[in-house]
Amino acid sequence: MDKLTVKIMSSSCKMGDITDQGVSLVEDLYKRRQPLPSMDAIYFMQPTKQNIDIFMSNMSGKRPLYKKAYIFFSSPIQKEWVAHIRKDSSVLARVGALSEMNLEYFAIDSQGFVTDHDKALEELFTENAEGSMNYNSCINTMATRIATVFASMKEFPRVHYRVARTIDASTLTTLRDLVPTKLAASVWNCLARYKSIIPEFPQTETCELLIVDRSIDQIAPVIHEWTYDAMCHDLLSMDGNKYVQEVPNTSGSGTEKKEVLLEDHDPIWFELRDVHVADANLRLHEKMRDFISKNKAAQLHQARTNGELSTKELQKMVQALPQYTD
């Protein structure tokens, strides 16, 4: 995999999920790799010239790295690159499959994804955006990645977008005003192509896609959201869905850092993430009471403290008992 497809896979599954499917080794396309001429290889990569050149050098000549190569591209490949692969007969004979996976988005959870454009604000909305190559590149890449979501789900959306509105007839419409319009057109072009090349892709609209820009809600960026998920990302130093907390070490003499993944498989997070923080607090306290009523260690601790456990006391007790950490 290349850097981008590693990120795609990391957002969707764990290493154990991959090895469970019979994959014995996961490697970086850009690093030097040990030849394994008796084994087949799966390439999951972006359809770029650099990636294809690396693949060709891996599989050409008398000593290829692998026995057979099964190539899966994260988004549509240009015809010229397919022709480039076909030209080399030694490589072509070793290709077991070549397919467009149309999988170039990053899942946040079961309900959300991002296209991973950290510089979108700068590339689309600054004064320098006018006439910039980065502007068109950003729009096209975002559109391609959004379209791959619909390709994955075999959905053909009716595309709605916010039309640029000028204050009066004398005011010029800028490229910044046209972001939703241009993005909608680019997404539609990708989807129109899918209709003819993806088997069983719907020929009529099956859902709605609504494209808006930040101007539709100018208040949200300057206030704190009050739901649990939003507040965690807003107020804690999180890296994606990863939160690092300090907990007492096993010896009790100090603390150690522990990584926690706030994802769908965590039942507490799954239940509370979209709840207002006040409701989340109440529910959490109820869960702690329930925990005490069913847990012998908690009951013993409560008896020693002659009264109710506070949230902090319960937290300390749980941290002291590794078997109850989850």
Could you tell me the CATH number of the domain that includes residue 155?
3.40.50.1910
pLDDT of amino acid 296: 67
The answer on 211 and 116 residing in a single domain is yes
Return d(Cα 229, Cα 297) in angstroms, integer: 30
Helix, strand or coil, per DSSP, at residue 276: strand
Lowest mean pLDDT of 1-15, 113-127, 152-166, 297-311, name the range. 297-311
The answer on 195 and 161 residing in a single domain is yes
Q: 218 phi and psi, to 5 degrees?
A: -85, -5
The answer on 134 and 79 residing in a single domain is no
**H/E segment holding residue 136:** helix 133-153
Q: Does the residue 89 lie in any domain?
A: yes
Which of 66, 100, 134 terminates a domain? The answer is 100
The answer on 136 and 68 residing in a single domain is no
Q: Does the residue 281 lie in any domain?
A: no
How do 207-211 and 157-161 pair as beta strands? parallel
90's CB contacts (< 8 A; 6+ apart) are: 59, 60, 61, 62, 64
CB atoms within 10 A of CB 130: 10
DSSP 37: T
The answer on 113 and 206 residing in a single domain is yes
Which of 163, 181, 216 terminates a domain? The answer is 216
Q: Does the residue 302 lie in any domain?
A: no
Per-residue pLDDT band at 300 (split at 50, 70, 90): low
Domain that holds residue 167: 109-216
pLDDT of amino acid 317: 65
Q: Does the residue 52 lie in any domain?
A: yes
Closest by Cα among 76, 71, 65, 125 to 102 = 76
Which of 100, 133, 163 terminates a domain? The answer is 100
The answer on 86 and 37 residing in a single domain is yes
Share of the chain above pLDDT 90, in %: 50
The answer on 71 and 120 residing in a single domain is no
Q: Does the residue 232 lie in any domain?
A: no
Q: Does the residue 65 lie in any domain?
A: yes
Q: For residue 16, give the CATH number of its domain.
A: 3.40.50.2060
What's the domain count of the chain?
Answer: 2
The pLDDT tens digits for 212-264 are 887 788 887 788 889 999 899 888 888 888 899 888 777 777 888 888 888 88
Query: Stretch 190-214: mean pLDDT, rounded?
Result: 91
The answer on 167 and 89 residing in a single domain is no
The answer on 123 and 76 residing in a single domain is no
pLDDT of amino acid 301: 63
Is the distance from CB of 138 to CB of 41 less than 8 angstroms?
no
The answer on 188 and 160 residing in a single domain is yes
pLDDT at 133 over 80: yes
The answer on 124 and 93 residing in a single domain is no
Query: Stretch 38-55: mean pLDDT, rounded?
Result: 95
The pLDDT tens digits for 160-188 are 998 877 656 667 777 888 889 999 999 99
The pLDDT tens digits for 79-89 are 999 999 999 99
pLDDT at 311 over 80: no
pLDDT of amino acid 118: 84
Q: Does the residue 326 lie in any domain?
A: no
The answer on 156 and 205 residing in a single domain is yes
pLDDT at 302 over 70: no
| 43-77 exposure pattern, b = at least 16 Cβ within 10 A, e = fewer | bbbbbbeebbebbbebbeeeebbbeebebbbbbbb
pLDDT of amino acid 34: 93
Return d(Cα 55, Cα 65) in angstroms, integer: 10
Return d(Cα 91, Cα 82) in angstroms, integer: 12
Per-residue pLDDT band at 69 (split at 50, 70, 90): very high
Closest by Cα among 10, 12, 74, 14 to 42 = 74
Q: Does the residue 64 lie in any domain?
A: yes
